[in-house]
Amino acid sequence: MKYLLWLLKAAIFFTLFAFALNNQHDATVYFFFGTYWRAPLVLVVLAAFAGGLVVGALGMLPGWWKHRAAAAQLPSASEAPTPAAPTAASASAAAPSITATDLPAVRQHGL
């Protein structure tokens, strides 16, 4: 399995490397007010990918902060009291037995 994973990584690397070699011609990206950026196409694609990663991570930051704050307010596992484990006799005595007549009727709907 380890060798198969390395083979997959190598295939992905060589595919991306061949893409970069085949797209060396210049591309022009036009911005506002007449400004533009002229660079190899592979760098333009890489910059767009990196920009998407940054925008996606920044969009997820408020959610991460909210969850971190909520997790920080929870008591840690070492501070929480451990409940006593019920014995088998008390667990079976406390759980009521359910018969088929106690269950609600299930209706069958055809499509």
* Continuous H helices in 30-96: 41-73, 88-94
Q: What pTM was computed for the model?
A: 0.51
Q: Where are the domains of the chain?
A: 2-73
- The model's pLDDT over 10-66, given as tens digits with 9 standing for 90+, comes to 999 999 888 888 878 898 989 999 999 999 888 888 899 999 999 999 999 999 999
Q: Please, how many CA atoms are within 13 Å of residue 102, restricted to the half-sphere of its CB?
A: 4
- Rounded to 5°, the CA angle 45-31-19 comes to 15
